[in-house]
Structure 1
Amino acid sequence: MAAQSLHDDVRERAVKTLGDYLYNEEQKKRAAREQEIKDQQRREEERLRHEKKLMDEEERLRALQAQTVPKLPPKPFESQPKPSPQSTTVAPSKGDATAAAQPAAAKPTSTPDTSSSGPVANDSSKSAFQTEPAKINGHVSPAAPRSAAPSPFAKPTASQPTNPFAPATAQKPATQAPAQVQPTKPPAVPDVDRYVQIHKNLKKLRALLTEHARTNPQLKKLMGEMRREIRKSLGQLTGGKGANKKQLESIKTILMSALNGQPPSPLIDPSSFVVEPREPVEGALHNEPQLPALFLYLMNQLGKAIINQFINECGASPRSADPVGVVTAQLFSAKEFLWRGQSLIDILMAKFRIVCPVVFGYRGSDKTEQGRLRLGWRKDGGAWISEQQHNDRMMGLGIGYASIALRGLLQEKFINFYGSAAVAALRRALVEFPNSAPKKTPGVMGLQVLAVMCKRDMGLDLGL
C-alpha cells in the first residue's frame, strides 16, 4: 500500500509538472504570436507609409510631366534688317521661314494642295484601330478624328490607304515655309508602351483573320494545322549541336508557305506590329508595304509558343532555355523573314512586355492589386495564383529572356567571356544577395538553389 501511495504521489506531481510546462509553453507561444502580429502590423504600417510616399512622388512627377514650357520664337536671321524705331510694322525678310504678318492684316486661309507631288505624310507606326491616344516621349497627344475605316481585307485602290490599320493620311498645305536644316537626332529608344499597343494590335489581327477564315474553310483548317505544328516543334527542342535541325526546318517551311501565299490570305501592313516606322531598304527581300496576314499571325503564334515554353519548362530546368533561345534567334533573324531589312522581333517583345514587365524596368508591390498588375502577376479563375507559381513563371521568363538577349547567362560562356568579373557577379547575385534578404521567400531560396547547381554542374564554388 505504501508503494502504491508513493507511486500515485509521484504520478500526480509529474502530471502537475507537465501541466505547468504545457501552460507555460502555451503562454510563450501566445506571447510570441502577439509579438509576431505586432511586428507584422508595424511592417504593414511601414509599407503603407512607403507606398503613400511613392504615390505622392508619382503624383508630383505626373504634375511636372504635364507642365510645358512655351518655346521661344524663332531667332531671326542675322541678315534680317533691324526695324526702325519709327516703324510700327515689321517687314519679313525674303526666305524667312517664320515670316510674320502685319499687325493689322488678316491672316490668309491656306487650302490643301492636292496637286502636290511630294510624299504624303503618313505615320505608319500608328494603327487605325487604336483605342488609346498615342504617346510621344511620355506625353499623351489627342487622337486625330478618323473617317470611316475601309474593309481591312479589301483590295487596295488608288483612293484607299494601303494600310488598313493606319489612320487617314494628311495632305500638305498649298504654301510651305522653306525647310530649315535640323540637327541629326540620336537613335530613338523603343517606347515600352508601344509594345502594349502592338500586343493589342496582334489581338485584333487574330480576330480579323479568324473572321475572314469563317468564309474560307481551307484557310481555317490550314491555319489551325500550322499553329499546332509550330507548337509541337518547339516542344520537341533538345540540347546538343544540330539536334534541332528537323524542328527548325519544319517551322521555317510553315512560315515560308504562309509568306508565299499558301494558303492565300489578306495583305496587311506590318507597320502596326513594329516599334519604329520603316522605309524600304536597298537589297532587302521584302520591301513591299504589305505582307500576308497569315504570316504575321503565325509569327505571333510562334512568339506565344516560345513564351509558353519558357514558362512551362525553363523555371525548373534553366538549361532547357538554351535550345529555345537559339531557335528563336535563328528564326527571327533569318533574312527571308525580315521586313525592310529588320527583324519582326517586336512581336515577341510585345508579349514579353505583357507577361514579364520586370525585364522592362517595371516595379510594384506584391501586396496591392495595382502592384501585382504592374508585376505581371497572373490570375487563374478570377483569383491570383500563388506566390510560388508566380515566382516559377517569372524565373522561367527571366531565364528565357536571357537565353535570347544574353545568350547563356549561367552557362560556361558567361564565365569564359567575363572571367573573374563573372564569378564575382554570380557570387553577388546568388550568395550575398539572398543571404542578406530579411525574409527567406521562395524567390530568395531559388537563387540559392542556382548557386548549388553551379557547383554541381560546373564545379563552380561560389562560397555558400
Structure 2
Amino acid sequence: MPIPPPRTAHHAHSSPLPRLATKMPARSGTSSSSMNTTSSFSSSFMDGSPSRQSPSRRIMHTPRGSIVRDPYDSPSRQIAIEFNLKLNVSDRNFNEQLDQADAVRAKKHERDLAIAQEEHMKVFRGAELEVQRILLEEEQARRRREEEQKREIERLQREKAQEEADAQRRALEARQREEEAAHRAAEHRRQLQETEARLKAQQEQQAAAERQAKEKEEADRKAQDAAHAAEKAKLQQAVSSPAPRPAPAAAPTATPTSAPPTASASAPATTAHAEQVHAKYLELHARMKEFRVAFANQHKQKSSPLKGPVGDTRRNIRLRLGQINTDRKDSVAAIKKLREDSFNVALSTPGPTIDIRPFLISQDIPRLANEAEAQYPAFLLYMWICFEKFVLKQFEKEAASTDGRTIQEIGLIAASLLADQRYMWKGIPLTDILVAKLHRICPILFGIRGTMNTMPGRARLGWLPIDKSEPNEEQYGQRMRGLGAGYAALSLRSFNAKAPAIPMSEYWRAVVSICNTPAEHLWPGHFAILYGLVRDYHKKFLSFYGAQARGVLRRATYDLPARAPPRCKDAAGPVSVLPLGWKKEGISLD
C-alpha cells in the first residue's frame, strides 16, 4: 500500500496566517515605522516557510524573561510568535502521528507479507504433497499394470493349454463320433432295409389280400351263379319229368362272418376290409345322429325334467372347449370342469337309458346276464355325441393357427375323458362315437379312396359342407390338417395305469395307409392330413417306435411327395420341407 508524502506546516497552515495578521488592530502611539516593520515582518513571514521563516527562529536566542525588548516587539508579533510555536507543536504532533501511522501501516504490511508468505508455504507444501501423491499413484498404477500383464500372460497361457487340451479332446470325440456315426449309419441302413422290406411285405400282403378278396368275390359270384343255374335246372327238370334227379352239389355261397376287425399296424387292413369297416362306422354315425336329434327334440319340451340340464351341459362343453389354450394348467382345470359340470351331471341325473351295444363297433361285447346290463344312461350318451362334435370342430378351427399346441391340449382333454373308467360301459370306452364322426368327415385317415372329379367321389374324401356351406380348397385343406393333427393328439398318448382310448398303433396305420396310397389315388387332402399327422408329432412318433418310425417318416416326407401327381404338387410342398425344420432340432432322416 503506497504511503502518502508527509504534510508540512506550510501546506497545512499557510492560509490562516495572513488573515490573522491583517485583522490585528493597530496600537495607539505606534509609529508608522513600527507598523511598516510589522507589516513587512508579517509580509516576510507570510511569504516564507513556517519552518524556516517563522519569527520564533529569529527570537529564540532572546530569553523569555529578558528585560531586553525587541524594539519591534508588539502584541501582534507576540501573538504571531505564539501562534507559530503552536504551529510547530502541531506540525511536530502531526508528523509524529504520520510516523506512527506509517509505523502501523508498515507493521500491518509486514504482517500481511508474513501471512502471504505462510499461505505461499502452505500452497507449496500442498503442491509437494500432491506431487508425491501423483507419483505414488503412478507407481501403484504401474505396479497394477505389471500385475495385470502378468495375470493376462498367465491366463493366455492357461487358455492356450486349455485349448490344446480341448482340441485333443474334440479330436478324440470326433473320432469317436465318426465311429459311432458309421456304426449308426450301418445300423440305420440295416433298419431302413428292414423297414422297407417290412413295408414292401405289407404292400405285397395287402396286394395279395386284395387279390384274394377279389378272387373270393369272384368265386362267390361264380358259386352263386352256379347255384342259381343248378336251381333253375332242377326246377326245369321237375316240370318236364316227374322222376326227380339228384341235383349237383353246389359250392358254398358264403363264408362265416367274424366280428368287425380293427385296423392296426401289425395287420394292415385291405381295401375291401377298410371299406367294410368304413361302412359299419357310417351306419354307427347315422344311428348317432338319429339318436341325438330325437333326444334333443324330446327334451326341448318344457314338460321334460331334463330340459335345463341338457341345455346347460351342452353349452358348458362348447364353452370349455372354446377356452382351451397352450397352458397345461388351464387344460387340467378344463378337464375338471367338464367332469364336474357336464359328464358327472349327465351320469348322476336320473333319466332314460338305452342299449349301448349298437353304438360299439371295435370292441367285443362281453357276455351279459340279462338285457338290463346292456343299458347305458341316454343323457351321458348324448353328452358324448355332443362332445365329439365340438372336439372335432375345434380341431378344424385351431388348424388355422401356426402353433399346434392348442390342438395337443384339446386332444389331451378328449383322451383323458375317454380313458375315464366312470364313463365307460363295462370297461369299454366310447371311442367309437368319436371314430364314427371321423369316418364321416375324414375318411382318408382310414384308407378310403376316391376321386375329386365327381361329387360322390369328393364326399368319399371328406368334401362336406362346413357351417352349412360348400367349402373351398383352403377350407377343405384346413379341415384335413386339423383333423390329422387332432387324430395324432388322440392316438399318440400314454397314461399311467390306463390304456389309451385310441391305440397308438392307429397312428402308425393312418400314416402308413397314406404312404401306401398309389399315385393315381393321391389328392391334396392326403398331403393335408399327412402334414397334420407328422408336423408336431414326429418326436413322439420317434420316441415310441424308434428307427422304424424314422423309416416311415422318410417315406412320408421324401418318397411320397416325390411321386405325387401334378394335381398334388402344391399340397405336397409343405410336407416335403418338414425335414428341413426337423434338422434344426437335431433330427435327421438321412
Q: What is the TM-score when the length of structure 1 is the normalising length?
A: 0.55
CA distance in 1, matches of 2:434, 2:467: 26
1:43 match? none
The answer to whether 1:394 aligns with 2:480 is yes
Distance in 1, Cα, partners of 2:312 & 2:554 = 47
> What SS class does the counterpart of residue 587 from structure 2 fall into?
coil
Question: Residue type of the partner of 1:259?
Answer: L
Partner of 1:244: helix, strand, or coil? Answer: helix
Equivalent runs, 1:126-165 vs 2, <5 Å: none
> Is 1:454 aligned to residue 582 of structure 2?
yes
**Counterparts of 1:60-459 in structure 2 under 5 Å?**
64=218, 67=221, 69=223, 188-190=260-262, 191-213=277-299, 214-216=301-303, 218-239=305-326, 241-253=328-340, 254-261=342-349, 264-275=350-361, 278-279=365-366, 288-314=373-399, 316=401, 317-379=403-465, 384-407=470-493, 410-439=537-566, 441-455=569-583, 458-459=585-586
SS in 2 for 1:208: helix
Secondary structure of the residue aligned to 1:268 is strand
Contact 1:321 1:400 (C-alpha < 8 Å) held by counterparts:
yes
Q: Are the counterparts in 1 of residues 561 and 569 from structure 2 also a CA contact under 8 Å?
A: no
Summarize the Cα distance change of 1:331–1:380 in structure 2 as closer, same or farther, 3 Å threshold.
closer
How far, CA to CA, are the matches of 2:430 and 2:466 in structure 1? 31
Task: Tell me the amino acid that sits aligned with residue 390 of structure 2.
Answer: A
Higher mean displacement: 373-382 or 331-340: 373-382
For the residues of structure 2 that align with 1:250 and 1:353, how far apart are their CA atoms? 29
CA distance in 1, matches of 2:343, 2:557: 40
Whichever residue aligns with residue 415 of structure 1, its letter is L
Aligned partners of 2:368 and 2:374 also within 8 Å: no
Distance 2:438 2:219 in 1: 27
User: Deviations 1:350-395 (Å, cap 9, x if unpaired)?
Assistant: 1001000111211111122221011011235987422222122112
Q: Secondary structure at the match of 1:379?
A: coil
Per-residue Cα deviation, 1:51-85 (whole angstroms, up to 9, x for no partner): xxxxxx9xx88973862747xxxxxxxxxxxxxxx
- Aligned partners of 1:453 and 1:318: how far apart in 2? 15
Q: 1:320 to 1:455 in 2, by over 3 A?
A: farther
In 1, Cα distance between the equivalents of 2:325 and 2:422?
25
Q: What is the CA distance between 1:348 and its match in structure 2?
A: 0.6
The answer as to whether partners of 2:259 and 2:364 remain within 8 angstroms in 1 is no
Distance 1:66-1:215 versus aligned 2 partners, 3 A rule: farther
Asked whether the 8 Å contact 1:431–1:462 carries over to 2, the reply is: no
In structure 1, C-alpha distance between the alignment counterparts of 2:431 and 2:467, rounded to whole Å: 31
CA contact (8 A) 1:255 1:298 kept: yes
Moved more, 229-238 or 376-385: 376-385
For residue 334 of structure 2, give the secondary structure of its aligned residue in structure 1: helix
- Contact 2:396–2:482 (Cα < 8 Å) also in 1: yes
Equivalent runs, 1:52-67 vs 2, <5 Å: 64=218, 67=221
Structure 2 distance, partners of 1:442, 1:383, is: 24
Change (3 A) 1:220 1:454: farther
Aligned residue for 1:279, secondary structure, equals: coil
CA contact (8 A) 1:235 1:309 kept: yes
Give the match for residue 125 of structure 1.
none
Residue 321 of structure 1: CA displacement? 2.6
Higher mean alpha-carbon deviation, 414-423 vs 388-397, is at 414-423
Q: How many residues align?
A: 291
**What TM-score, normalized by structure 2, do the two folds share?**
0.44
User: Counterparts of 1:187 and 1:380 in 2: how far apart (Å)?
Assistant: 34
Q: Is the 8 A contact 1:271 1:277 kept in 2?
A: no
CA RMSD for the aligned pairs? 3.7
Q: Unmatched 5+ residue regions in structure 1? A: 1-56, 71-102, 104-138, 140-182
CA contact (8 A) 2:298 2:304 kept: no
Q: 1:280 to 1:246 in 2, by over 3 A?
A: farther
Uncovered stretches (5+) of structure 2, i.e. residues with no partner: 1-210, 225-243, 245-253, 263-276, 494-532
Q: For residues 354 and 442 of structure 1, do their structure 2 counterparts lie closer, same or farther at Cα, with a shift above 3 Å needed?
A: same
